[in-house]
Structure 1
């Protein structure tokens, strides 16, 4: 009965969130079409900037009627669903972790990665909040924190029947803790939230924490670096017990696919007719645009200029005196055939970016060669399940 009711509660909440997103989408698409209509009817120049103006007369009345009706319908349905959700929540206690719905969670995680910043700004219930989930029961004073990547969640550390966190915890005596967060928000925001929650978690741990190790996959490695820097700036306690930081396929100097998406965004803006379509390419979340160059701090981004192509981030070296490791994937199975494959890396992150290497010495993370490793023939997601990757992780954490 509890499981059935929990699914109903989740369904109602998801329906409310999906409805709000649909209303926002109708409103946004109507605005795009109206902007194009306005430009074309004013015989705009095909190239160059044109001032945005609403359509007038009967045409304008039609567009404003669509927007108004859309808002009224959305508010009415959302109110009814809110009452249903409140009734279900009042009759339920907290649902056990093992009754979560993995497929639903994966879909919501992907949605948060693509437009999580919008979900937060609009108060959408589908927005994921930063959470740290200890593997129960938490035991011992050695803690291993695992931070997932873009469009993923904590359950997706389990891949092809293997979970690095669980295997390392059982093998090396760690208590595994999994982070779940909204990957569509800025990395600096997630870093700040992670730093604060980690301080609270370790402060209330059943026994004194003697050692903390962190493994961050993809964006998770950047969130870990941001959290560490902000924790040190705030004088938090947990960095003092952080012994090892492992960066698994993290785009320290950006990912080419995001830079390609930004070129598309800028290219559409050249034509006055197509310029309204930049709103579609501009739907990429703040978290995704942070991956263009690897932004880690609040000062690295500005929401008014976050689609600027230039690398404007500040250099952020790794903290001295801490063991940091970087592992990259490469689609090339052999070192003698690397070349372009190393530029492609694991399909998403180039090898040099994942290893923290940069032509500008001030940006190079200077991770020792003994703390670097390239997993040949392994793509970005298979970094989570590859046996060779696991052996390397175990070796590093056991040192």
Structure 2
């Protein structure tokens, strides 16, 4: 007799042959998924992480990106607690502590927010750190956000906003300028933080002068959308539903990247594995803040076809530049505040001399005399 297709109703007869073997294997995966993740996490303790501080940070950051919401829900000691850091050390946000920790802080604060599955220490790539370079060349004092990237973007955004409020209030010298640079997911966290600050009337937002997005998926991640469609396809079949459960281990932070969710309303009381684009909110950029976007392209040259097809390997060009066919979702950044680095991958944006030159041109006050009369938007 003909074997049932994968989307047929489940049969009561035991499956035989190779079909039976596959089905039994899938059922085995089903039983192991529920307990497997906790068993694995119990075997990885803070003490068992690599001796190298950087290796340990990288391991824990990746783990938090993939299952960070689960780590928080189970009160696992491997979870990352959000903090602002320098050289991997959390800052105590009081004037006295900041004066002792930061030698000669300037009035220009630069806050850098890393991407998914990353640590603040990974801003340094191949000996270059955009934050440290801007400190040396433009007089900024860099501070690095360290966060659990497996949590919802809006959850992290709200907590980031509270930390920025405490940072500005405790800064030991008068704040002249606050700048945020967000890499990849970090740019979305920054946008969500700005919206949270607007709604709660946070003072720090009034100090924000520039917001720079580097490789930020403003229109979401095609890779996450593809994974979600595969989950839905697998979940529709009684024979492959177990594999869908494996895919559903991915964190809230990852699923938020599907459509770049920035607001609680986009996931509250909603199955986050269901792809409902209509729930997405079109949140505007913060007012009176100069916003800039850097995109990478694997293409070696500019051109209509290249710009349509070639992103940085993870984020499409249009998404990183905040461009969208819908006027509600198009960020409307002027050409002078958009830059494409060709022959540059997603990770390559972190140490690209071209990208740094653009950051320096945008952010160094000495280079901005021509913009002093411009109305920020």
Normalising by structure 2, we get a TM-score of: 0.80
Q: How does 1:61-100 map to 2 (within 5 A)?
A: none
Partner residue of 1:214?
A: 180
Corresponding position of 1:240: 206
Pairing of 1:94-173 with structure 2 (within 5 A): 101-134=53-86, 136-137=101-102, 139-173=105-139
Q: Secondary structure at the match of 1:232?
A: helix
Rounded Cα–Cα distance in structure 2 between residues aligned with 1:141 and 1:131: 21
Partner of 1:21: none
TM-fit CA distance, 1:342: 4.0
How far the C-alpha of 1:153 sits from its partner, in A, is 0.5
Q: Which residue of 2 aligns with 1:19?
A: none
**3-state SS of 1:339 partner:** helix
Aligned length: 324
Paired position in structure 2 for 1:313: 280
| Cα offset, 1:134, TM superposition | 4.1
Q: Distance in 2 between matches of 1:324 and 1:169?
A: 20
More helix by share: 1
What do residues 84-114 of structure 1 show as CA deviations (whole Å, max 9, x unaligned)? 99xxxxxxxxxxxxx9700011011011111
Runs of 4 or more above 3 Å deviation: 43-46, 340-344
Structure 1 residue ranges without an equivalent (≥5): 1-42, 51-62, 86-98
SS at match of 1:144: strand
Cα offset for 1:340? 5.0
Match of 1:326 among 293, 313, 332: 293
Relative to structure 1, the CA distance from residue 100 to residue 238 in structure 2 (aligned partners, 3 Å threshold; closer, same or farther) is farther
Q: Residue in 2 aligned with 1:368?
A: 334
Would the aligned equivalents of 1:48 and 1:270 in 2 still touch at CA under 8 Å? no
Q: Is the 8 A contact 1:328 1:354 kept in 2?
A: yes
Choose from 328, 335, 344 the match for 2:302. Answer: 335
Conserved 8 A contact 1:326-1:372: yes
Deviation of 1:320 (Å):
2.5
C-alpha separation in 1, matches of 2:102 and 2:6: 64
Work out which of the residue numbers 354, 357, 363 in structure 2 matches 1:388. Answer: 354
The counterpart of 1:203, out of the listed 166, 169, 172, is 169
